[in-house]
Every structure is written in C-alpha cells, then in structure tokens.
Chain A
Amino acid sequence: MKIDPIHQFNIEPLFTIGHIGHQTIAFTNSSLYMLVAVVIISLLMLASGAQLVPGRLQSVAEISYEFVASTIRSTAGAEGMKFFPLIFSLFMFICVSNLVGIIPYTFTVSSHLIVTVGLALLVFFTVLIYGVAKNGLKFFSIFVPHGVPGYILPLVMFIEILSFFLRPVSHSIRLFANMLAGHIALKVFAGFVAMLGFSLGAIGWVGGVLPLALTIALYALEILVAFLQAYVFAILTCIYLNDAIHPGH
C-alpha cells in the first residue's frame, strides 16, 4: 500500500463549465468544497433562528458576528465597520473551509496557493483602491514614517514600500503553507500507522500506537490552526485596511 501525502491536494475536475482562451474552466473538487463552505455559512447565519434567547446554532452565528465585529473595531476602529461584510466573508470562508477540510477524505480549499493568493490580492487591491480613493495622495504617507532622520529616510521608505507590496505574498503564503504543511504532516503520521500495521503485522500494530497518538495530537492542533489561520488572515486584513482608513498612523 503506497501512501502519497500529496494526493489529497489533487484537483479533480467534476465537469467543465467553459473555456477562457485555451484554458478549460472546470467545476472541480475545490469548487465543490467552496460551495460546501458557502452553503454551511449561509445555513449557519440564516437558518439558525432569530430568537430572543438564542439556541446553540444561533449562538454560534452571533458569536461569529460579535467576534469579527469586535476584531474590526479594535484594529481598524469604527470606520472599519464599512468592511464588515468583506472581513466576515473572508473569516468565515477560510474558517469553515479549513474546518471542513480537516475531516478525512475531504479537500482543503486554502491548501492551494492560487486560492490564498486570490484572497490576499482581493484584500491588497481593496486597501490600495479604497486608500487612494479616500485619502488621495495622502495615502502614500504610510510609506513615510514619522520621526525618522532625513538621511535614513530613503532607506526606510524603500523598506516600507517593499513591505507594502510583499504583504499579499506573506498574507497568502502564511495561510497556504500552514494548511498544506498541517495536512501533509497529518497524512504522514497517519500513514505510519497503516504502514507499520501492514508491513510488520502484530508488532507493527502495537508499534503504531505512537504515531497514532501523534496523529491525534496533530489533529487537535490542526483544528486550532484551521481557526487560527482564518483569524490571522482576518486580523491582518483589518490591519491593512486600517492603513487605508487612517494613513496618518
């Protein structure tokens, strides 16, 4: 039995939607899990009731709402609430698709760089366009920190500009790499259990206890990471948007 830890990331087309140039646009397993995430979020938010005293699901919906809202207020201020739908969509989409992806035999949408790059660029251009539209040229004052001596300013500005344009890179790779590495590690450790069992018989099954324990521990860690990376993505979005809203800081 060959265990391929990469196989879980394969994109399997389910049916073709159309063509753009020479590219075939297919509805893939990734698309399916995006749809699953959208459906789960919609059900959670819309079908969980609107009671005065909330039930469990309604509590989850309201806690997500309050959580994202308070994150935005604390990092980007009250004006950041303009972007509440965007940040809420990002957070919920990443969080739900990550949590669904952690179930064995499912697919993790954010384990593909192109998806996280797409989301990070969405944030990047939102910041850039909103920042320029709202503040005009003043927006670019974020590249000129206060209180830096004149002779070192060009260097600092160069670093600031570079870091600004590298934001989508770190923003996307952080999420992608975390999900990818976590899933590979899980698969490798889980694979050890099966390999030991199949190759060494009874001794192997006993020896498999250790990697099994590790797998369980990793699994718990991955649940945390799935949530945490969604949170990190959302809070970084808030921080970037804060630059666009208050470029003076």
Chain B
Amino acid sequence: MAESHGGAKAPATDAHTEADGGHHGGGFPPFESSTFASQLVSLAIFFVVLYVIVSKLALPKVGGTIEARQNKIEGDLTEAQALKDQSEAALKAYESELAAARARAQAIGNESRDKANAQAEAERKALEEQLAAKLAEAEKTIASTRATAMSNVRSIAADAAGTIVQQLTGVVPDAASVNAAVDASLKG
C-alpha cells in the first residue's frame, strides 16, 4: 500500500494513513476518489454473490415454504368442505331413509289394519250367517213343534169333544162330524 497517487504529497501523511487515499489526509472520506475502485469492486463482488444466493436459494426456499403453507391451508379447507358435504349428504340420506321407513311403517300399519278389519268383517259375517242358520233351524223346529202340537190339540179336542158329547148325550158321536165341528171351531 505504499503506492499512492500524486506521490509527491503522499509521504507526508499522518496517523490515519489510508491505503490509497492517504494524500487527502483529513479530507471527507465519501469524496475520496482513490477509495472508489476498491469499494466498487467489493460492491460488485458482494452484490453479485448476494444476488445469486437470493435468486437461486433464498427466494425459492422462502417462496416454497409460503406456497406449501398456502397449499396446505387450501387443501385442509377443501378437505373440511368435502367432509362437511359428506356429513350433510349422510344427514340427508338418513332423513330420507327415515321418511321412507316412516312411510313404510304407515303403509304396513294401514295394510294390517285393513286386513284385520276385513278378517273381522268376514268372521262377523260368518258368525252372523251361522247364527242366522241356527235361528232359522230353531224357528223351523218351533214351527214343526207347534204344528205337531196343533195337530195334537186337534185330536185332543176331537177326543175331548167326543167324550163330552158321549157323557152329555150318552151317544157316541160320529168321528167325522166331531172332526168337522172341531175344525170349524179351531178356524173360528
């Protein structure tokens, strides 16, 4: 660093000797043109290094992290939405199934009620018919019994009339005239 520009003045410089700006002594450092080259060269080197690091490593890495997070959040949100849709679909399916089951239960209830009604009706009809038959039979029996009784009454009446006539008159009446008289009085 012994070499300086404007060599004539240089050797006299004092304490804070500077590499290539010594001859300016107490000058204003930012305007010392002899330091410019060094600064520009180091700026160029370090800025290029920084640019390469930033563009090849730093930004892809940080950008990738941010993007991965964004994707993760979006993915999670979509997944949550899908799950929500799924649960809503399940709820809807459950509700429709419930409604169907209810309808089916209603139908089964109606059907069984109708069937029970029909059966009861049939049974009732059968029973009624049976009863009617029994009634008819009973009436027939009564009628026949009465007819028998009535015929008995006639013969009894004829006998009684014959006997009475015999007792009163002592004459055995003619059976045919007694019968005719009994018939006439029964009719009357």
Contacts and interface: CB of A to CB of B under 8 A. Distances in A.
Contacts of A217: none
B21 interface: yes
B94 interface: no
Contacts of A16: 1, 19
Given A13-B20, A45-B58, A89 B29 contact: no
A26 B31 contact: no
A232 interface: no
Interface residues of B, number: 45
A46 B20 contact: no
A45 B54 contact: yes
A11 B54 contact: no
A12 B58 contact: no
Interface string A16-27: 110010111111
A9 interface: yes
A10 B58 CA distance: 33
Interface string B30-52: 11101111111111101101110
A28 interface: yes
Contact of B42 (A20, A30, A62, A89): A30
A25 B46 contact: no
Contacts of A206: none
B69 A28 contact: no
Contacts, number: 160
Interface string A61-92: 11001100000000000000000111011001
A115 B1 CA distance: 22
Given A11-B39, A13-B19, A65-B62, A89 B46 contact: no
B38 A28 contact: yes
B64 interface: yes
Contact of A28 (B19, B28, B58): B19
B72 interface: yes
B59 interface: yes
B122 interface: no
B62 A89 contact: no
A34 B58 contact: no
Interface in B60-75: 61-66, 68-69, 72
B59 A28 contact: no
B36 to A, nearest CB: 4
A112 B29 CA distance: 8
B65 A27 contact: no
A194 interface: no
A207 B21 CA distance: 39
A45 B63 CA distance: 10
B187 interface: no
A111 B30 contact: yes
Contacts of B39: 11, 28, 30-31, 112, 114-115, 118
| Most A C-beta atoms less than 10 A away, residue of B21, B35, B39, B41 | B39
A176 interface: yes
17 contacts: A6-B28, A6-B29, A9-B30, A11-B18, A24-B19, A24-B37, A26-B38, A27-B42, A31-B39, A42-B53, A46-B57, A61-B62, A62-B62, A62-B65, A66-B66, A112-B39, A114-B30
> What 9 A-B pairs have minimum CB-CB distances, sorted nearest first?
A13-B19, A45-B58, A85-B55, A31-B42, A34-B46, A9-B29, A23-B37, A11-B35, A50-B65
Given A61-B58, A85-B59, A92-B50, 16 more contacts: A10-B16, A11-B38, A23-B20, A25-B38, A26-B20, A27-B42, A34-B47, A38-B53, A41-B53, A42-B50, A45-B57, A65-B66, A112-B35, A113-B30, A114-B30, A115-B40
